[in-house]
Each structure stands twice: as C-alpha cells, then as structure tokens.
Amino acid sequence: VPRVTANKANELRRRAAEANVAAILDGTVALLEHHSKPSFVDIARAARVSRPTLYAHFPTREDLIEAVVKRAIESTARDVAGARLEEGAADLALRRLVVMGWRGLSRQRTIFRLAMDLPPKRRRQVHESALEPVRRLLMRGQRSGEFRDDQPTEWMVSLLYALLHAAAEDVAAGRLDDDVVGELVYASAIGALRPPNGDRS
C-alpha cells in the first residue's frame, strides 16, 4: 500500500470514529432529557451507530457517563477561560467565575445529575480541566492578599466546587431559586475566601 493512501485511510477512519463518538454523546444527552437511564440499545439507535461500535467506544455505562460529563465540563471550561480570570481584582474575577460556573451547571442540569452517579473520585478527575484556572485565580488572590493565605489553595478549590454543586442540588430539590444562585454562592464564597479580620475566636 502506498504510504500516502495508508495515511489517508487512517485519517478517514479517525474522522469516522470522532463523528461516531460525537453522535453517541449527542444521542445520549438527547435521550437523557426523557429517560433517566436509557439503554445501550436506545443509545445506539439514537446515535445511528451499531451496538458493536457503541461498545467499542464505551465498554461500560460508566465510561459513557464519564465522556458525556467530560464534554460538558470542557464546554464550561471554555466559558471559564473566556471570563479572563487572570485579569483585574481577584474578587471581581471570582464573581465572573461563579456566574460562569453556575451558567454552565444550570444549562447542563441533566448532565449535572448524571455526574452525581460517578464515584466522587472520578467526578473530581473529570473536573480537572475546569479547576486549573480556578486554582490559578485563588493563588493569585492569595499572593495579592485579596484572599486568605492561611488555608491550602486546594481546600479553597474544593470549597468553591462544593458550594456550586450544593447550590445545584438545592435548585434541583426546589429549595433554591435558579436566579439568585450566582449572587448567593458568590457572597458565601467571598466571605469564606477573604482574609479574616479581627478575632476568629
């Protein structure tokens, strides 16, 4: 086989695989709007791929969930990057981050519920792409004195992540209104992250 043709064939196979994966993820998300646990048969049908193809890409349900969640998080991570967290006062950047993070979570509520099915460890891992700019913002604020520096940055990352997810659970449970969440989470987060003044008994 001439080398150029072999490369070309590989390239076509790669593109077909990518298109299949995208179709499978789209099909899964579409089905999730109506069924909480669509079957692999339904997903293959919705994605117009064969079941062997589906299983080849996603051997287990958890693999598929993880891929769906990962894609959603990557889209939120792009929004977060657009919030330019490296610019301006750290507290204003934090506000932009919370608003963006919340928009991402609430736009993708179905997927958020799905993420809750992943074990906590795996859930945190798929979030890593969105957490890195958050970590950098927190370190910047700690260096400038806008955020407290008596706590590990990693704990402050966990705190922000926990507040956003707690708010999402509260909205899903009807305990909180969607449109107050941004301000609420920001107010709690900035209180927790600012250097304490005076006695903390």
**Dihedral over Cα of 130, 160, 98, 88: its sign:** negative
Nearer to a second copy among residue 52 and residue 119 (C-beta): 119
Residue with tokens 């890195």: 132
| CB closer to a second copy, 43 vs 115 | 115
Provide, rounded to whole angstroms, the least separation between the CB of residue 95 and a second copy.
7
Angle between helices 90-107 and 120-144 (to 10 degrees): 160
Which residues contact a second copy by CB under 8 A?
A: 89, 91-92, 95, 116, 119-121, 124, 148, 150-152, 154-155, 158-159, 161-163, 165-167, 169-170, 172-173, 175-176, 184, 187-194, 196-197, 200-201
State how far the Cα of 95 lies from the Cα of 78, in Å rounded to an integer: 17
For the bound state, the minimum distance from the C-beta of residue 149 to a second copy, rounded and expressed in Å, comes to: 12
Structural tokens at position 193: 């992250």
- The runs of H, that is alpha helices, within the chain are 3-32, 40-47, 51-57, 61-82, 90-107, 109-115, 120-144, 153-172, 181-193
Closest separation in Å from C-beta 78 to a second copy:
25
Q: Which is nearer to a second copy, 45 or 140 (CB)?
A: 140
Q: Which is nearer to a second copy, 45 or 148 (CB)?
A: 148
Query: Which amino acid, 24?
Result: I
Least spacing, CB of residue 4 vs a second copy, in Å: 48
